[in-house]
Structure formats: structure tokens, C-alpha cells
A and B are shown apart, each in its own frame.
Chain A
Amino acid sequence: MDLITVNVIDFDGSLKPLEVPTGINLSLMEAMKASGYEIEASCGGMALCATCHVDVIVGHDQLSAPNDAELEMLDMLPVLKPNSRLSCQIRINDEVDGITVQILG
């Protein structure tokens, strides 16, 4: 099992690297939540609530494109950043290594 690193900017603006193992079928939302970040993620990862909204500040283009459900949900939001994603829809795998995300919630 490999470890990848995601740089996470918390609500307070602080940036910390987060090491996550690949191959255990985690989403970025689950990985951040498990590490104590206070993300609501109220729908539990179904791309239905957008409370795990992040802006991918570095490495947006290296991620797989969002699916329809995610795009539909992002469409609903009043405030969108250029690289907005739902962290519950980002699977932890090698392509996620090295990205920087800012939690918007």
C-alpha cells in the first residue's frame, strides 16, 4: 500500500500535509474527516449536500473529471470557485498525490 500526500487548508487558513494510504477505497472527504477536520459531509458521501465542498488550488487538472451527479450538485451552489469539487467524489489514489485543497464546507 502506498502513501500519498494531500495538502489541506483548513477553515482557519492553516495548511497541513495529510498522508493517506491508497488502496483502501477512501474518498478525500472520508480521509479528511478521519483526520479530525470538521467537515460536515452530512449526506455521507452521496454528492447530495455539498457540505464537503473544496477548492482544488493546486493539481486540479490531474484529477479525474467530476461525474454528472457532482456537477449537478455544484451547479446548485451560490458560490463556486474556479476549481470547486466535492471532496466526497475524489477517490484517494495516485492521481491525487500532491494536490492542495482548501476546505469551503
Chain B
Amino acid sequence: MIETDICIVGAGPVGLFAVFEAGLLKLRCHIVDVLPQIGGQLAEIYPKKPIYDIPGYPSVLAHELIDNLEKQIEPFKPGYTLGERIESFTKLDDGSFIVMTSDQTEIHAKTIAIAAGLGCFEPRKPELENLATYENKGVHYFIKDPNLYTGKKVLIAGGGDSALDWAIHLCSLGSEVILVHRGSSFRGAPDSAHKVQVLHDQKKLTLLLNSQVSALSGEGHIQSITVDDASGIKTEYAADYFIPLFGLSPKLGPIENWKLSLEKNAITVNTHDFATDIPGVFAIGDINTYPGKLKLILCGFHEAALMAHGAYKYIYPDKRVNLKYTTVNGIESF
């Protein structure tokens, strides 16, 4: 089992910086995030957008800020569990917690800091009647192992970059790919769109524009998929897999069931150390709310610092904390 002082839920900028502030108090952190990479929204939604309100940076690209934070916290050697979602936690008699992820990873943590931003990013799902029954029985929202699809018939739906990129990639790995897009053209990524068109012309891939998936069928696993064109004509295609790629959308997810007090999908905290109403559980960044709350990265950084001190007092109620300055001590001594 993973042992840590603070289990941080969410690897966005605030979760990452919490490692630094905890590190200054010699508290070790383990970060869990549902996405396969760190950075949260900054990596998933707007990596190439400039941010102008980080003190000391007139302008910084979202992914650069994440790269820098990763470097900044590296001396404190945080643990990472990525691509897994925290489902639940239980409190032990000694006040510590056992945290359980979607992949049954267990983390024994003295405290929990929820820095989950908007919640979990979950795939947007098309409205198809029996979609849920085929989930993991031919319906995949993520491509984890591209080789799984080699030699198989794969229908990808979507009009964004990832739909184009995966169509090209799976085609190169020997999948029989059908790409279905509701629109008449692809507005993003002209290079990939051109490649798909060339593959279609060479009959290496089937491109269906102005079309939409309308039905799934098969005995216990996807076997065929019905596609409607703009005039409503239905065509059935044999398929082993259906991969709808419509991007990700944030949902509060399991946090809703953690018996924390919530207000409009945000966790209510005090502004002393951002503790929730469960002692030992803190919430920082966009996921929390309190009078005067501003959803800004810089406010999240501030909250992380105060949270770390709160966590320290929870873990060591009898010890005094001396605030040390990195300028005086460097960071090696922590």
C-alpha cells in the first residue's frame, strides 16, 4: 500500500503546488488524477493558451506553467497515480485515511487535500439508446492500447483532432477504420484532415461526412453499427469496436458521495486552513467555496500554503510550526 502524509486529489496547478508547500513542512505527498497526464484543465483544455495573472510572469503558456510546477516540486519527490479516479475513502481510528481508486490502488494517507478543480473529466457520450450496455463490450471512450484494434473493424465518431489523429494512427496499425463525422468538413487540424481525405481516396479508410451513428447492435459485443446520412438513409456497417471521441467534459463525480458539505457543486471550507467539515480532509482551488471565493490559480496557490499548515497541525497536533523562508534556507534542507 502507498503510504503518504497528504493524498492530493487532482494534479492541476493547485494540487501540484500543494506538494511544494507541504514539502517545506517535510510532509510528503501522493497525487492522484483521473487523467493520464498532470496539469488538469491547463493540460487538457487549454495547454497553448497564455495566462496573464500569475505573479511574476507577464505571460506564461498553460503547459509551461505546469512544466515549471513539475520541476519546482521535483525536490520533494511526490508520488503519482495517474489515469485513476479516487472512488472513496475511509477514516481509520487513528484519524488517517485509506483512499481507494477506480483501479483498486490503495493509499494510506494521514490527510487528504482535494484539489479536484471542476471534478473529473469524463468523456462526452453520444445519445444512443443502448450505449451503456456495450461499454467495454466494443464501446471505448479512450484508446489505451492502440494495438488492440489491429486487424479489427473500428468505427470512430467525432470531428475533433483526436478523432482525426486516431483514425490515421489506427489505420497505420492495420485497423479497418470508418470515420463518421456529423459535419461536412473538419475545421480543426487541416493537416490531419487532409491525410484522412487522402487515405479515404486510396480506399484505406472510409470517411462518412454529414453522417451520424444512430444504432448499435450485437450479441453481447458490438457487431454492427447503423449510420444515418444527412437525408436519413440508414446503412449498417459491420464493426468490432465503436470509439466515440467527442472530447471530455468535467463532472463532479464520486466527490458527490463523500458526505462533504457542498454548495453549487463546490465543497464548503473555512478560510483558516481550507478544512472541510471532515477533520483531516481539506479542499483547495476551484473545487472549494467560501465567502469571497475567486476561482483563480493564484488564490489556489495561497490556499495550498494554508492547507499545508492545517494538515501539519492535524498530523502533529502537539508540534509547533516554524515558518521557514526558502530564500534563507534554500529547498534542499527540507
- Inter-chain contact B247/A76, CB cutoff 8 Å: yes
**Contacting residues, chain A, for B160 (C-beta < 8 A):** 72, 75-76
Complex CA–CA separation, A50 to B183 (angstroms): 17
* Minimum Cβ distance to chain A for residue B8 (Å): 20
Hey, which bits of chain A sit against chain B, CB under 8 A? Answer: 38, 40, 42-43, 46, 48-51, 68, 71-72, 75-80
Known contacts A38-B264, A42-B118; A75 and B187 CB within 8 A of each other = yes
- Inter-chain contact B45/A78, CB cutoff 8 Å: no
**Cβ 8 A contact of B187, one of A48, A68, A77, A79:** A68
**Cβ 8 A contact of B244, one of A43, A71, A78:** A78
Most buried by B among A42, A76, A77: A76
**Contacting residues, chain B, for A50 (C-beta < 8 A):** 247, 249
Known contacts A71-B187, A72-B188; A77 and B45 CB within 8 A of each other = no
Closest to B248 in A: A49
* Minimum Cβ distance to chain A for residue B142 (Å): 15
Q: Which stretch (B15-23, B67-75, B89-97, B122-130) binds chain A?
A: B122-130
Hey, which bits of chain B sit against chain A, CB under 8 A? Answer: 41, 45-46, 49, 118, 124-127, 157-160, 181-183, 186-188, 244, 246-247, 249-250, 264
**Cβ 8 A contact of A79, one of B45, B49, B127, B181:** B127
- Inter-chain contact A46/B49, CB cutoff 8 Å: yes
**Contacting residues, chain A, for B126 (C-beta < 8 A):** 78-79
Closest to A38 in B: B264
Complex CA–CA separation, A51 to B124 (angstroms): 11
* Minimum Cβ distance to chain B for residue A62 (Å): 23
**Contacting residues, chain A, for B187 (C-beta < 8 A):** 68, 71-72, 75
**Cβ 8 A contact of B246, one of A48, A51, A68, A76:** A76
Known contacts A50-B247, A76-B159; A42 and B124 CB within 8 A of each other = no
Complex CA–CA separation, A59 to B118 (angstroms): 32
